[in-house]
A and B are shown apart, each in its own frame.
Chain A
Amino acid sequence: DIQMTQSPSSISASVGDRVTITCRASQTVGTWLAWYQQKPGQVPKLLIYAASTLQSGVPLRFSGSGSGTEFTLTINSLQPDDFASYFCQQASDYPLTFGGGTKVEIK
């Protein structure tokens, strides 16, 4: 199985900051990687797929990059609505696997 490792597990940031979250795969997944946002008590929301393609309706301050085994999710100019947990998911092989998550908290 492909193991997905996210770092950091949590980050404290202020409104307006740039935040970068890293996701590493135990073997190459090409660009078959997605990012999700989940707020407390809510269902996950797809933000990015194919490593860098923004899902419809997602603000442009979100961006994704990477290929192979290392990926990043960047949030430019963090907004109050962005304080949430973020998960990566590989879509290269079954079983599909997720990273452990990164919680973005208010500093």
Chain B
Amino acid sequence: EMQLVESGGGPVQPGGSLRLSCAVSTFTVSTNYISWLRQAPGKGLEWVSVIYSGGSEYYADSVKGRFSISRDDVNNTLYVHLQMDSLRSEDTAVYFCARGSRTATFLPVFDYWGQGTVVTVFS
């Protein structure tokens, strides 16, 4: 079964940067649409970004220009990174990476999720 493991979260001051990473274990399973999503404390889900295997990237309006997604294959493990710059207090959340599936859907829905990594932006 596919496993996704996030890392890189932690406390950061407003205006600072963090780089989150998602290690995807089952590289042979389709990993075409790995996404980052987040959930602020006590709040709902918010999609953040997706990267396609071909390199296309899409972002939520709230992070466009501040966050950047990338992917690389290291020793048969897929890593998807989220570079987060100019962080704001409203970016405080649990950040999940998830596998997007487009089986019978136009755009991705998310069938495998990591456990999440906590980002806290505080002054």
Contact = CB atoms under 8 A, between A and B. Distances in A.
B61 A101 contact: no
A34 B109 contact: yes
A49 B106 contact: no
A38 B46 CA distance: 14
A22 to B, nearest CB: 16
A98 B108 contact: no
A49 B47 contact: no
Interface string B30-45: 0000010000000011
B114 to A, nearest CB: 7
Contacts of A77: none
Interface stretch (A11-19, A62-70, A86-94): A86-94
B75 interface: no
Nearest to A92: B106
A91 B47 contact: no
B45 A50 contact: no
B67 interface: no
Contacts of B105: 32, 34, 49-50, 91
Contacts of A1: 61
B58 A95 contact: yes
Nearest to B94: A43
Contacts of A101: 44-45
A1 to B, nearest CB: 6
Contacts of A38: 45
Given A1-B61, A43-B113, A44-B113, A49 B104 contact: yes
A100 B59 contact: no
Contacts of A36: 45, 110
A97 B61 CA distance: 11
Given A36-B45, A87-B45, A95-B60, A43 B106 contact: no
